[in-house]
Amino acid sequence: MEIKSDAKIQKDVLQEMHWDSRVDETDVGVEVDDGIVTLTGTVDSYAKRIAAQEAAHRVAGVLDVANDLEVRVPGKGRLTDTEIAREVRDSLQWNVFVDDAKIASTVHDGYVTLEGTVDSLHARDEAGSAVRALAGVRAVINRVTVAETAIDAAQVRTAIEKALKRRAETSAHGVHVSIDDHAVVLEGRVPSWTEKQTILDAAGHTRGISRIVDHVNIVPLSETKLTH
């Protein structure tokens, strides 16, 4: 398999954004240097900023994404911080995967800060996802922490390894899982961002894990073959 040039990656990223209905590719500048994509420009919502980032990561050959997109909410009819705060509270209450009573939010100039303690990293991320698409939100600062409960390191490691095999069997064999206090340490190589996200998601569902130490590198299959 031929290694993609930066020009080819740039073209594919722009096409992926054109395909993604959440993104207006005309708002986004794309630069590529050795597989590292930099996004520049201005979008009108935080959700679109994240959508552009996700679209870039989906493209084969992309190693990292630097998201320099600026969010500028249109001034006319712009929501007040109080109105945004009400939207945030409603969104947290409506999300069945979030215990909104455990999460407090602060809104300043469209920047939403979430704080509190939940049972898993997945619940933490779910809270952030619940509010990032709301009108008027310029950014989400997620300071929600995960409660550290007593865990059996061996059982947690086994559970995560089984989840990896269920979700990404080919990659699971190349990823080493270890437990350091209440942190999951993941090391190894995978061929794509999608498979890496599958692995991180599997680890994030584990109760009692307060953080993930991510040492998983993306190495395209074509480059892996060239090193052997």
Element holding 18 (H helix, E strand): helix 6-19
Task: Tell me the CATH number at 37.
Answer: 3.30.1340.30
pLDDT at 1: 45
In this structure, the number of other CB atoms found within 10 A of the CB of residue 217 comes to 11
Residue linked to tokens 């939010």: 105
Closest residue by Cα to residue 212 from 130, 120, 128, 89: 120
Count helices and strands (H / E) in the chain.
8, 10
How many residues are listed for the chain in this entry? 228
Q: Which domain holds residue 135?
A: 81-146
Query: Residue 213 is encoded by which pair of tokens?
Result: 């130490």
Q: Residues 142, 194: one domain?
A: no
Global pTM exceeds 0.85: no
pLDDT at 201: 79
3-class DSSP state for residue 33? strand
- Mean pLDDT in residue range 131-156: 84
Give the chain's domain count.
Answer: 3
Closest residue by Cα to residue 179 from 199, 154, 215, 196: 154
Place 223 in a pLDDT band, splitting at 50, 70 and 90.
low
Element holding 179 (H helix, E strand): strand 175-180
Is 228 a member of any domain?
no
From 146, 177, 196, give the residue that closes a domain.
Answer: 146
Q: Residues 123, 170: one domain?
A: no
Q: Which residue has the higher pLDDT, 225 or 100?
A: 100
pLDDT at 172: 59
- Mean pLDDT in residue range 184-193: 83
Q: Is the pLDDT of residue 11 over 90?
A: yes
- Mean pLDDT in residue range 69-84: 84
Range from 117-121, 144-148, 192-196 carrying the lowest mean pLDDT: 192-196
Q: Residues 174, 138: one domain?
A: no
Q: Which residue has the higher pLDDT, 156 or 209?
A: 209
